Amino acid sequence: MSSAGNVINLADYRNADTREIIDDISARAFLYMRDEAEAEQVPMHAVIAEHLLGMALVVQAVEGSNAARDLLKSVAAKLNP
């Protein structure tokens, strides 16, 4: 058996680990927003829409309008494969 079969691509491992961390942060943020929306009796859809807009505006302020548009295009592309 070749030892190459036992080699782990470190970049793939890091990417998977990073993806898990991002997913965990996103899940906690969603649960927080859901709980707060419920406590304040506001529609979750409105909270998500406002949050998405706010995040895009932060990206725009920090990285520029093109980066914000690219972010929103990326989200749209994932919704419409």
**Same structural domain for residues 28 and 49?**
no
**Same structural domain for residues 37 and 49?**
no
**pLDDT band for position 81 (cuts 50, 70, 90):** confident
What confidence score (pLDDT) does residue 5 get? 63
**Same structural domain for residues 57 and 80?**
yes
Q: Are 51 and 39 in contact (CB under 8 A)?
A: no
How is residue 6 annotated by DSSP?
G
Q: For 38-80, write each residue's pLDDT tens digit.
A: 999 999 999 999 999 999 999 999 999 999 999 999 999 999 8
**Same structural domain for residues 50 and 66?**
yes
Q: For 4-51, write each residue's pLDDT tens digit.
A: 566 666 666 667 788 899 999 999 999 999 999 999 999 999 999 999
**Same structural domain for residues 70 and 52?**
yes
**Same structural domain for residues 1 and 38?**
yes
Q: Are 68 and 59 in contact (CB under 8 A)?
A: yes
Q: Are 56 and 71 in contact (CB under 8 A)?
A: yes
**Same structural domain for residues 37 and 51?**
no
Whole domain around residue 66: which residue ranges? 43-81
Say how many domains are in the chain.
2
